[in-house]
Structure 1
Amino acid sequence: MGWLAAGEGYEISLVDGKVAARSVRTRGKQLKTLPKALREHPEVERLRRFAEWLDRHAAACVAQVDAWMVSSLPVPAGLLGRVWADEAWQIALRDLVVVGDDPDEPGFLRDVSESGELRVVNLDGETVKLSAETVTFPHPVLLPDLEDLREFAAELELTQRVEQVYRATWVKPAEAELAPKATAVQEFSGGRYASRFRIAARAESLGYRVSGGYATCRVRDGGRTAEAAMWIGEPYWDGQSETGSLNWQDENGRGIALREVGPVAWSEGMRMAAALYAGRTVENG
């Protein structure tokens, strides 16, 4: 953004998200710190509030795109055309794998026109136009060419603001490998923490919801909502606590048999459980 007059002999602007100042007397050289005379200036305060709003807006864009991706929701291409001019939306969307009418033709999103026509780079390295009424940003566990996409992304040195191709995924075992009535996974049970508070704090820092004695992750998978829930200990318990079993529930709170858990809900639930188990206390030796 441009520089604004603030106080006698100074101008201010946002540089890398922070309020910076320069002196008119020194031919516009940016100062290392904000002068004391400007710290309480009304223009500085307004610019600080604007910077905070930009941070919240950027975080909201990332959260929305992440929700589209995790649930593989159809997104109107025209909507992408309208928001693309906003830098925060561009950063959240650029380089994500996107598909249109043909799910077997994925590509990395590079640009969107005002009319909603997408420019993508496909696995052949060609930049092609994608015209579709709606598009999806598939969850990585649903991408049949995931390994090829990962290799190509590394080759192009692409960086995704919303974690997609490099997102940790867990493929659901074949139905025959799961007991017919099994409802819980014990693989990540027994992760000991000094307190239940620390497990909850880790869960919340990773973006998961804590409700009662569980850390939860809600996902829309295949047209229905499923919530993965992992036991983390009784609320308000101040002693040592351990991670427990992982199970899934439908939107009415009824348990879902493991055989009936969708691939995305399975992967996201296991991802949550693995992340919480990884933060456990590990004793030397």
Structure 2
Amino acid sequence: MSQGLAITSAMSTTSPPTAELNWAEGPDGYSLALDGTTLVCRNAKGRRLKSVPKKVRGSAEAERLTSLAQFLERHERECRHSVESWLLGSLPVPAATLAQVWPDPTWQDLLANLFVLPAQGGEGGFLRGVDDNGRIGVVDLDAESTWLEADRVVLAHPVLIEDLDDVREFALELDITQRLPQLTREVHHKPSPIAPDATAVTDYGDAVFAEQRHAVGRAQRLGFAVRGGYAVCRVLEGGRSVQARYWIGADSPDYQTEAGSLIWVDADERPIRLTDVGPIAWSEGIRMAELVYAGRTINEQESQ
């Protein structure tokens, strides 16, 4: 058997296969199950109902399944946070760690098909499986299944992926999908030249929001923290904690506000010169500013 065939047979698909629902006996002949994290019900004839009857929802079995659903939701959030932190920081992840978490369907669903690279350098591919010995199975850019000879891998931030457009096109050809947006994430490269003493990007400083709470609400809905009048995006790059901060105002929530500069600060709150901002921190900071900026109040002149 060829190496490629052996690997393919051992690897999982993009997402774990859809499992049959595990029905549990409820009151009065009803049965209950979790469809993902949603409580569902069927009657004594086996017909699935559009909603769970009130008398069934208050049963002990329904409460048990609801508690389980809440646990699964917390687990998914925790797993997502970990994988996103690895991705946004391009942090080396031990293969042994991936082998430990891979059997968990939640972890596997989030990790499957992310583009990974050996931490020590070399060609990478789309993550398709991890064996018990910690070997990382990928589909490489020649559409071949192979094992990476690496004890640590990097979940590559897209700004660091060489020939990103080609990798994206390849993924489309193979109908590769990702639970976490890696290849579809917007990337922004630092322009050149940049003034050596510059510490702020002012391109997004003309945004006006009818009310300050509109800017705050938009930033928070997009997943950014808001502190001290800034929308904040934290990145760990090269082992260094960096925050991108985009000023959106700190006046009364119902007052009009005007955005300001985008800056980056280090762990000690000191401004970082733009020339010293790393590629991931730059890309994520510009991405944050553009997303928040897009929600500004559009005046008549802009709309023409």
The alignment's TM-score, normalised by the length of structure 1, stands at: 0.94
Instruction: Please point out which of 125, 130, 135 is paired with 2:143.
Output: 125
**1:7 partner letter:** P
1:66 maps to: 84
**2:178 partner letter:** Q
**Number of corresponding residues:** 281
1:62-100 CA deviation, whole Å, 9 max, x = no partner? 121011011011111111111111111011101100011
Instruction: Please point out which of 219, 227, 236 is paired with 2:235.
Output: 219
1:282 maps to: 298
1:205 maps to: 221
TM-fit CA distance, 1:107: 0.3
8 Å CA contact 2:124–2:148 kept in 1: the answer is: no
8 Å CA contact 1:217–1:272 kept in 2: the answer is: yes
**1:84 partner letter:** W
CA distance in 2, matches of 1:208, 1:17: 25
The secondary structure found in structure 2 opposite 1:88 is helix
1:109-144 CA deviation, whole Å, 9 max, x = no partner? 011112211110011000101232111101111111
The secondary structure found in structure 2 opposite 1:58 is helix
Instruction: Please point out which of 125, 129, 132 is paired with 1:111.
Output: 129
8 Å CA contact 1:116–1:131 kept in 2: the answer is: no
The secondary structure found in structure 2 opposite 1:8 is helix
2:38 maps to: 18
**1:216 partner letter:** V
TM-fit CA distance, 1:235: 4.4
**1:139 partner letter:** H
CA distance in 2, matches of 1:78, 1:265: 28
The secondary structure found in structure 2 opposite 1:99 is strand
Give the 3 Å change call, closer, same or farther, for CA 102–127 of structure 1 in structure 2.
farther
The secondary structure found in structure 2 opposite 1:220 is strand
TM-fit CA distance, 1:246: 0.4
Q: Which piece of structure 1 moves more, 268-277 or 236-245? A: 236-245
2:188 maps to: 170
Instruction: Please point out which of 88, 93, 97 is paired with 2:106.
Output: 88
The secondary structure found in structure 1 opposite 2:27 is coil
CA distance in 2, matches of 1:193, 1:56: 34
Matching of residues 28-47 of structure 1 within 5 Å? 28-47=46-65
**1:22 partner letter:** R
Q: Answer yes or no: is 1:7 the counterpart of 2:7.
A: no
TM-fit CA distance, 1:101: 4.6
2:75 maps to: 57
Give the 3 Å change call, closer, same or farther, for CA 233–117 of structure 1 in structure 2.
same
**1:23 partner letter:** N
CA distance in 1, matches of 2:290, 2:119: 34
Q: Answer yes or no: is 1:232 the counterpart of 2:248.
A: yes
2:5 maps to: none
1:136 maps to: 154
CA distance in 2, matches of 1:61, 1:20: 25
**2:272 partner letter:** I
Percent identity between the two aligned chains: 44
2:208 maps to: 192
CA distance in 2, matches of 1:245, 1:190: 9
CA distance in 1, matches of 2:261, 2:98: 40
Where structure 2 has 5 or more consecutive residues not aligned to the other structure, the ranges are 1-20
The alignment's TM-score, normalised by the length of structure 2, stands at: 0.88
CA distance in 2, matches of 1:66, 1:33: 34
8 Å CA contact 1:111–1:118 kept in 2: the answer is: yes
TM-fit CA distance, 1:233: 0.4
The Cα RMSD (Å) is 1.5
8 Å CA contact 2:119–2:154 kept in 1: the answer is: no
- Tell me which stretches of 4 or more aligned residues in structure 1 moved more than 6 Å: none
The secondary structure found in structure 1 opposite 2:128 is strand
**1:88 partner letter:** T
